[in-house]
């Protein structure tokens, strides 16, 4: 691929997903690709180290108009000559497709998520009324992390920390003084993640957040989404001290007040527009449903599953 084109693609990637990417960590690269678009988009976390330049080709099932943000990730990996070690879903996302499977088909490195994902699979299997062919044992990923498990990213040691609440299966990842906290705390001016999806629990979320805030004040926290309040530039990194000092969902709160606030706030939120489309793909590790006899793939949409509009 043309070098100048690659450079432009890389700049576009950085511009588009700057709220979702984490670079330059101890001479390595840690990339987290989250919601890159407000419509159909992709997500996966990639833990990567540098390697000689390679050439990646797409080879997955997703049509190109649905995979453009995954393409940006692949282009960034290629442009920066990164070696990807893991593709990690921090949890099954409710508003965009996971790119884990798609990226895996190109990068051929292990996919992983938290071991509790099997509970989410069971829950949503019943909602979608899926048949026996849908397994709820987590084998859609190459590896299921357990609490406290350690793994390597190049020469660095990463440690898994269960942090449920937003979902039953959410995991955070600590590497040195950095913790990748996905949808728990957002930036200090943006509060916390909602806890009202099926299986979500505000009390659990508070306890997960409390564990994160037990790290030293200087610990760097990399959050999963940024909603840019007031139209400010995207941000993705804070510290424990900053969260304690200025996040209104944390400062001056205790478990009781947080749970009351979180539940009250969540009752007023509509369900994400794409929750029913994305969950049935994401509980399968990012796999689309198999084509039917006519070669067409179909998503199931359960009607009246929620007691409020699934629109946002």
The binding site for Fe ion (CB under 5 A) comprises: 93, 183
Shortest Å, Cβ 140 to Fe ion:
18
Question: In angstroms, what is the minimal distance from the CB of 92 to Fe ion?
Answer: 8
| Least spacing, CB of residue 214 vs Fe ion, in Å | 22
Q: Minimum CB separation from Fe ion for residue 101, in Å?
A: 18
* Residue number, 71 or 183, with CB nearest to Fe ion: 183
C-alpha 36: how far from its chain's center? 11
Closer to Fe ion by Cβ: residue 89 or 183: 183
In the complex, least distance from residue 224 CB atom to Fe ion, rounded to whole angstroms: 7
Within 8 A by CB and 6+ apart from 187, the residues are: 223, 226, 235, 236, 238
Considering the complex, state which of residue 76 and residue 93 has its C-beta at the smaller distance from Fe ion: 93
Full DSSP string of 67-105: -HHHHHHHHHHHHTTEEEEEEE-SS--SSSEE-HHHHHH
When the beta carbons of 80 and 127 are compared against Fe ion, the nearer one is 127
Beta carbons of 75 and 9 less than 8 angstroms apart: yes
Instruction: Give the DSSP per-residue string, 25-41.
Output: ETTEEEEEE---SSSS-
Radius of gyration of the chain (CA): 19
Residues in Cβ contact with 209 at an 8 Å cutoff, skipping those fewer than 6 apart = 163, 165, 184, 185, 192, 250, 258
- What token pair was written down for 289? 């449903």
Distance CA 89, CA 170 (A): 9
Q: 183, 205 in Cβ contact below 8 A? A: no
Residues with Cβ within 8 Å of 53's Cβ and at least 6 positions away in sequence, in order, are 78, 81
Q: Which is nearer to Fe ion, 93 or 174 (CB)?
A: 93
Residue labelled with tokens 């593709």: 87
- Nearer to Fe ion by Cβ, of 93 and 249: the residue is 93
Q: Where are the alpha helices (DSSP H) in the chain?
A: 3-16, 68-79, 100-107, 117-128, 202-213, 240-246, 255-267, 275-282
Q: Which is nearer to Fe ion, 75 or 184 (CB)?
A: 184
> In angstroms, what is the minimal distance from the CB of 50 to Fe ion?
29
> Least CB distance from residue 218 to Fe ion, whole Å?
27
**Residue 134 CA: distances (Å) to CA of 128, 235, 268, 285, 312:** 11, 38, 33, 12, 29
Q: Residue of minimal CB distance from Fe ion?
A: 183
At closest approach, how far in Å is the CB of 225 from Fe ion?
7
Comparison of 94 and 115: residue with beta carbon closer to Fe ion:
94
């Amino acid at each position: 691929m043309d070098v100048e084109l690659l450079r432009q693609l890389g700049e576009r990637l950085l511009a588009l997903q700057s709220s979702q990417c984490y670079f330059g960590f101890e001479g390595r690269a840690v990339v987290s690709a989250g919601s890159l678009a407000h419509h159909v988009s992709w997500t996966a976390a990639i833990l990567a180290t540098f390697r000689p330049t390679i050439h990646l080709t797409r080879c997955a099932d997703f049509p190109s108009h649905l995979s453009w943000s995954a393409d940006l990730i692949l282009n960034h990996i290629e442009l920066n000559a990164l070696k990807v070690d893991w593709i990690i879903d921090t949890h099954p996302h409710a508003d965009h497709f996971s790119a884990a499977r798609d990226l895996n088909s190109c990068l051929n490195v292990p996919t992983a998520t938290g071991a509790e994902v099997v509970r989410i699979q069971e829950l949503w299997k019943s909602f979608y009324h899926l048949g026996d062919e849908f397994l709820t044992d987590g084998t859609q990923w190459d590896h299921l992390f357990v609490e406290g498990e350690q793994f390597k990213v190049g020469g660095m040691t990463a440690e898994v920390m269960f942090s449920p609440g937003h979902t039953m299966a959410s995991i955070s990842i600590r590497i040195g003084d950095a913790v990748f906290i996905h949808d728990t705390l957002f930036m200090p001016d943006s509060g916390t993640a909602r806890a009202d999806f099926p299986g979500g629990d505000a009390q659990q979320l508070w306890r997960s957040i409390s564990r994160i805030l037990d790290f030293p004040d200087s610990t760097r926290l990399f959050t999963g989404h940024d909603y840019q309040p007031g139209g400010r530039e995207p941000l993705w990194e804070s510290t424990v001290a900053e969260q304690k000092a200025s996040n209104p969902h944390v400062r001056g709160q205790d478990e009781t007040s947080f749970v009351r606030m979180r539940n009250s706030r969540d009752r007023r939120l509509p369900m994400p527009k794409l929750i029913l489309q994305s969950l049935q793909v994401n509980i399968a590790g990012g796999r689309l449903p198999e084509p039917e006899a006519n070669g067409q793939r179909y998503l199931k949409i359960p009607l009246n599953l929620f007691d409020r509009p699934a629109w946002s």
